[in-house]
Amino acid sequence: MRMAPVAIGAPFLLSLLTWLLLNGLDLDSNRFDRELRALDDFSRFERGFTREVLAARSAYREVMMGWYAWWKRTKFARSIARSSRPERRRERRIEALLQRLIDRKS
C-alpha cells in the first residue's frame, strides 16, 4: 500500500525537475557565456595556484636540506666547542627537528 504513492511520485518528481532544468537553460545567452568563462578562469587559476604551491614546497625542501647539510658539516666544530650536557641535548633536538621537517615535506 505504501509503495504506490512512491512509485507514482518519484517519476513525476523526476520529470518535473528535468523539465525545470531544460527550460532554465539558455545556452545562447551572454550570461551563460560569462559564467562558463568564469568557471574556466577559476579552473585555470586553481591549476596555477597548485603549481605554485608545489614549487614552493620543493624550494622549501631544498632550503631545509641545505640547512641540514650545513648542520651536519659544522657538527664536528660544535662538538669541539661544546662543554655542557644541555648544549648537546639542544643540538640533538634541533637536528631531530630539521630531519622531521625534511621528512615531512618530501
Tell me the pLDDT tens digit for each residue of 33-76: 888 888 898 888 888 888 888 888 777 778 778 877 877 777 76
The arithmetic mean of pLDDT across residues 8-29, rounded, is: 83
Closest CA to 51 of 63, 61, 59: 59
Residue 41 to residue 85: CA distance in whole angstroms: 58
* Cα distance between residue 92 and residue 67, in whole Å: 15
pLDDT range class, residue 82, cuts 50, 70, 90: low
| Ramachandran quadrant class, 29 (left: phi over 0; alpha: psi -120 to 50; beta: rest) | beta
User: Has residue 32 got a pLDDT over 60?
Assistant: yes
